[in-house]
Chains A and B, each alone.
Chain A
């Protein structure tokens, strides 16, 4: 009988083995990215929320940052993701802030919008400290301390705010913060130090 002479082939096992290994590796990297994003998404949202002051804008920039990280840097080693992610996030925040400034200038130029938008788009953060009626996040449980902190951070110049949040909240070291901010390490130290001094002056007594 011929059956004893023939080589029995299992097509699914033989040629696909290498492919499986490659796919396993790819799946591992994908899961790693998912874990990374899950570990930073809520913190990134809070940082964006402090900088932009609305939930929807903060969600938009975090979503963009996640997608861009996957598109542009998903193939890079996972150790590089953290500063890269925050760099994308900070760039997106700055884009939103610039866009908002331009919009404000246009609306300010139009008399019909000037009165309505002046207070709403450029609020004084310190004046907001005692305001009991903002968004859902605050109402749930952010607390008075967070409101004070948000107000004080909101009053900082953007670069000081970035340096403080990345260094202090996210625990990035000076080099990583410099990468995320796109500046020198010396600049990071300067911005951070000034931020701490300002915050101490504003919050010291309240805290």
Chain B
């Protein structure tokens, strides 16, 4: 066999040195283990930071699509299922505001805004607020 060719079967030296090495690994002292653990945490935190920044940096088109779907459900859903009188509908100028992903709270509180926009309710409130004998404000 050529002396520079790697032996196929590990010899005694290889097996013995591996066993000695493995034992020495098990006997690494507490100070070193602690330092290694800190180093590992630092490396993991670095990966976590990178992944998080990458994850947050994505414009997330799925979020935009979800918003459109929610708005569509809000607009179309009540129209399909409503049996009584049709309530307030969204004006064209409301759509850009609703499609803005920052306005999720507005979507959540859609019912409240519809209530505010309800003319009938405004009239009733105005009449109740008016002093007796005075004409109600239009």
Contacts and interface: CB of A to CB of B under 8 A. Distances in A.
A140 interface: yes
A71 B111 contact: no
A41 B66 contact: no
Interface of chain B, main secondary structure:
helix
A46 B24 contact: yes
Counting contact residues on chain B (CB < 8 A from A), the size range is: 35 or more
Interface stretch (A92-100, A103-111, A120-128, A187-195): A187-195
Interface in B9-48: 10-14, 16-18, 20-25, 27-29, 31-33, 35-37, 39-40, 42-44, 46-48
A6 B23 contact: no
Given A11-B104, A18-B60, A42-B33, 12 more contacts: A15-B104, A67-B39, A75-B50, A136-B31, A137-B32, A146-B24, A149-B21, A168-B14, A189-B4, A193-B3, A193-B7, A194-B3
Top 4 A-B residue pairs of the complex, sorted by shortest distance between their CB atoms: A63-B39, A66-B43, A74-B47, A70-B43
Interface of A: 2-3, 5-7, 9, 11, 14-15, 18-19, 22-23, 26, 29-30, 33-34, 37-38, 41-43, 45-46, 55, 59, 62-63, 66-67, 69-71, 74-75, 136-137, 140-143, 145-146, 149, 167-169, 174, 188-190, 192-194, 196-197, 199-200, 203-204, 207
